[in-house]
Structure 1
Amino acid sequence: MKYQNPENKLFVKNRTNFNKHLKNNSLAIFNSNDEFPRSGDQSFPFKQNCDLFYLSGIDQEKTILLLYPDCPNPLYREVLFLRQTNEHIKIWEGHKYTKPMAELASGIKKIYWLEDFDNIIHSIIPYADHIYLNTNENDSSPHTVAYRDIRFIEEMKKRYPLHHYERAAPIMRQLRETKSAEEVQLIQKACDITKDAFIRVLKFTRPEVTEYEIEAEIIHEFIRQRATGHAYPPIIASGNNANILHYGDNNQTCKENELILMDFGAEYANYNADLSRTIPVSGRFTPRQKDVYKSVQHVMQEAKKLMIPGTSINDYNTNAGELMTEQLVRLGLISLEEIKNQNPAYPAYKKYFMHGISHHLGLDVHDFAGRYTPFTAGNLLTCEPGIYIPAEGFGIRLENNILITADGNIDLMAEIPLEAEEIEEIMNSPI
């Protein structure tokens, strides 16, 4: 881990809040993620299970968290199980948590090695009525791999078939969609690192630079500031590549008078930033490019005002679509006749703005939250309108990260250059 450990009061508070949602005499178990094989004897870089990290602050493989607030044996009401290190692991893999270090990171006092799990769980599970187990219920995409949580559920039901099994995920969804002050601080740190990377890119970009060179500048700044790395695979899309929403090749040369759509963010302490900016390769927007840019910026500024507690996701998206429709008419991209005859299920604006305008952000880039839950104070979402015009050879997307509060929104990326003129000024300033 490159980042500095967050204070454990965050995770102590998260466990307390989780326990309040359990039925009486319930036990809950959370597992770390799998270590996925890559090829040969290599594995993909380990990424901790977000729910386990949320409740423990432990960022290490082969970890189990056991919560049993009503356990008759007070020793086992809150237990962390860790992989025990040895000389072989120390030499080949390096540092692992010691018990004192894990206690400091998590605030959990009862810590055992993983080999003790079976004996301890077997000694207390007969006294529990309900067992809460976790699965990945993020509805952004289907999950087809039988990951550790799925295998663990099967194992537990074979060993203890007559207990009442419960889903931990609905509790985690409710908790994780509202960010605490400590979480906002970590996301702000990721946003600040992302800001510095973007300014670095503005000073670096020029005609004939390659997309992958820009990507290299970004990761340099991330690692230099102790970020883990990219929050997600970065998009560095010059010219018509910007009209591929999930473009990721990042292997083309950026040509004079083209635009570059960049979508990237830093990950810090497992929390993520998510930024989109579009800049001119030559340091100046053409009049048409700037006109479209101003339209996207207008939609973002107005959509941010719609993100208030109590607003439903459907109403928000409908109103944002109307904002975009007005701008597309102004730009001459769609006509009033097309709007009149549009299919309500696929409005006319979707031809040029085909993705959603916001998603929750946190431990996951598309964070765990209720798709049908109205906005509430403490929600933290992106705001990312875009206009994509393949016929004109460019696409523009702008994206900031917005915290909803009872007293108005807070833009965590308000200090990152956004105005077209400011971007031009930085790009044309002496290095």
Structure 2
Amino acid sequence: MKYDLIDSNLFIKNRQKFMARMKPKSIAVFNSNDVYPIGADSTMPFQQARDLFYLSGVDQEESILVLFPDAYEKKHREVLFVRETNPHIAVWEGEKLSKERALEVSGIGTTYWLQDFDRIFYELMTEVDTVYFNTNEHYRQSVETQTREDRFILSCKAKFPAHKWEKSNPILQDLRGTKEQQEIDLIQQACKITEKGFKRILGFVKPGVWEYEIEAEFMHEFLRNRSRGFAYTPIVASGNNANVLHYVVNNQQCKEGDLLLLDVGAEYANYASDMTRTIPVSGRFTARQKEVYSAVLNVKKLATKMLVPGTMWKEYHEEVGRLMTSELIGLGLLDKADVQNEDPSWPAYKKYFMHGTSHHMGLDTHDYGPLKKPMQANMVFTVEPGIYIPEEGFGIRLEDDMVIQENGEPFNLMAGIPLEIEEIEDWMNR
């Protein structure tokens, strides 16, 4: 890992919150992600299962966390299983967690080697009525690969058919949606790294540069600030490419007069940032570009003010749709007849603004968090309205990461990143 060691009190607190929600005589199990193969002896870079990291801070493959608050032996109320290291692994792969280091990272006093899992887990299951399985129930999930969690669930049900089963996910949706201050600080660090990357490219972008060169500038700045890199696949979209919402090939040349949409964010310590800015390749916006940019920015500012405790996510998006409709009419892209005759299931504004405005942010770019309960203080949301006009050859999206406050408007974790038209032009023409 590149990041500084995180205070284990964060993970201790997270486990305490989770275990307080568990039923009597129940056990919960969390598995690390697999190391996924590419071909021959090549693998994809390892990334930890976010739930396991959230509860333990362990950032290593082949790891298991077991939580059993009612265990007969106190030492078995929180247990880690990690891969046993040896001199051969140390030479070929580098340092792995020792039992002492596992305690330092996680605050968990009992660590066993992974090879002992079946024996110890069987012993614990004799005391247990209910097992909490960890499944991915994010509203945007689309997983086709069988995970270590999937294999564990199948194996556990086969070996212990008389036990009852519960889901960890509803608990984690609630807990992970509201951040501890340490988590907000880690997201802030990711945002600060993103800010450095953005300010770097403002002096780099000009007609003739290639989208992949801009991506490389971001990556250089991210890595030199202890980030693993991008929190998600970056979008560097010039001209009409911005009208492809998930444009990620980043292989075109930036042309004079074009706008450049940048949807990029650094990760730090597995926590994500998520920024979008739209800048003029030539360093100055045209009159029409300014007009559309100002409309998007106005919606963003008004939408941000609505991110307060008690706001419902569904109603919030409906209100943002009304704000965007008004702006699109002002831009001449819609008229009142379009609105009067719209399909309620796909309002007229969706022709130019077809995605949502906000999502939870945290360990995942689209993080866990309850969407059918009122917003609460210390939830972190993006705000990202956009207007996409293929017939005019550009699209504009603007996005910041906001922390909901107990009182007043949300706190902008990206307040230092240039956003206003004059700021952007000033930075690009220094």
Query: Structure 2 length as normaliser, TM-score?
Result: 0.99
Amino acid at match of 1:380: V
Q: Distance in 1 between matches of 2:95 and 2:260?
A: 41
Structure 2 counterpart of 1:403: 403
Counterpart contact for 2:66–2:78, Cα < 8 Å: yes
Structure 1 counterpart of 2:316: 316
More off after superposition, 84-93 vs 283-292: 84-93
Percent of pairs identical after alignment? 52
Amino acid at match of 1:310: G
**1:220 counterpart = 2:215:** no
**1:93 counterpart = 2:126:** no
Residue correspondence of structure 1 range 167-246 to structure 2 within 5 A: 167-246=167-246
How far the C-alpha of 1:189 sits from its partner, in A, is: 0.3
Q: Distance in 2 between matches of 1:318 and 1:23?
A: 37
More off after superposition, 67-76 vs 188-197: 67-76
Amino acid at match of 2:248: G
3-state SS in 2 of match to 1:166 = strand
How far the C-alpha of 1:62 sits from its partner, in A, is: 0.2
How far the C-alpha of 1:373 sits from its partner, in A, is: 2.1
Amino acid at match of 2:108: I
Structure 2 counterpart of 1:417: 418
**1:156 counterpart = 2:156:** yes
3-state SS in 2 of match to 1:225 = coil
Q: Distance in 2 between matches of 1:195 and 1:13?
A: 30
Structure 2 counterpart of 1:137: 137
3-state SS in 2 of match to 1:360 = coil
More off after superposition, 158-167 vs 273-282: 158-167
How far the C-alpha of 1:144 sits from its partner, in A, is: 2.0
How far the C-alpha of 1:330 sits from its partner, in A, is: 0.7
3-state SS in 1 of match to 2:126 = helix
Q: Distance in 1 between matches of 2:102 and 2:121?
A: 20
Counterpart contact for 2:75–2:109, Cα < 8 Å: no
Amino acid at match of 1:161: P
User: Deviations along 1:46-80, whole A, 9 cap, x unmatched?
Assistant: 11000000000000000000111110112211111
CA RMSD of aligned residues (A): 0.9
Q: Distance in 2 between matches of 1:77 and 1:314?
A: 39
Q: Distance in 1 between matches of 2:191 and 2:236?
A: 18
How far the C-alpha of 1:10 sits from its partner, in A, is: 0.3
Counterpart contact for 2:235–2:262, Cα < 8 Å: yes
3-state SS in 2 of match to 1:53 = helix
More off after superposition, 183-192 vs 98-107: 98-107
Residue correspondence of structure 1 range 9-408 to structure 2 within 5 A: 9-408=9-408
Counterpart contact for 2:238–2:252, Cα < 8 Å: yes
User: Deviations along 1:342-396, whole A, 9 cap, x unmatched?
Assistant: 1111111100000001110101110012232221112111000000000000000
Structure 2 counterpart of 1:427: 428
Amino acid at match of 2:366: H
Counterpart contact for 2:2–2:226, Cα < 8 Å: yes
Which contiguous aligned blocks of 4+ residues in structure 1 show a shift greater than 6 angstroms? none
Amino acid at match of 2:343: N
User: Deviations along 1:175-224, whole A, 9 cap, x unmatched?
Assistant: 00111111100000000000000000101111101000000000000000
User: Deviations along 1:293-316, whole A, 9 cap, x unmatched?
Assistant: 011000000000111111111210
Amino acid at match of 2:23: K
How far the C-alpha of 1:253 sits from its partner, in A, is: 0.5
Amino acid at match of 2:412: D
Q: Distance in 2 between matches of 1:65 and 1:337?
A: 58
3-state SS in 2 of match to 1:405 = coil
Q: Distance in 1 between matches of 2:328 and 2:31?
A: 48
Amino acid at match of 2:49: N
3-state SS in 2 of match to 1:204 = coil
3-state SS in 2 of match to 1:127 = coil
Q: Distance in 2 between matches of 1:75 and 1:371?
A: 37
Q: Distance in 1 between matches of 2:342 and 2:158?
A: 54
Q: Distance in 2 between matches of 1:377 and 1:130?
A: 33
More off after superposition, 192-201 vs 139-148: 139-148
Amino acid at match of 2:93: E
Q: Distance in 2 between matches of 1:259 and 1:323?
A: 24
More off after superposition, 340-349 vs 187-196: 340-349
Q: Distance in 2 between matches of 1:116 and 1:147?
A: 21
How far the C-alpha of 1:143 sits from its partner, in A, is: 2.1
3-state SS in 1 of match to 2:278 = strand
Q: Distance in 1 between matches of 2:424 and 2:384?
A: 18
Query: Structure 1 length as normaliser, TM-score?
Result: 0.98
Q: Distance in 2 between matches of 1:397 and 1:68?
A: 46
Q: Distance in 2 between matches of 1:144 and 1:217?
A: 33
Q: Distance in 1 between matches of 2:361 and 2:75?
A: 36
Amino acid at match of 2:75: L
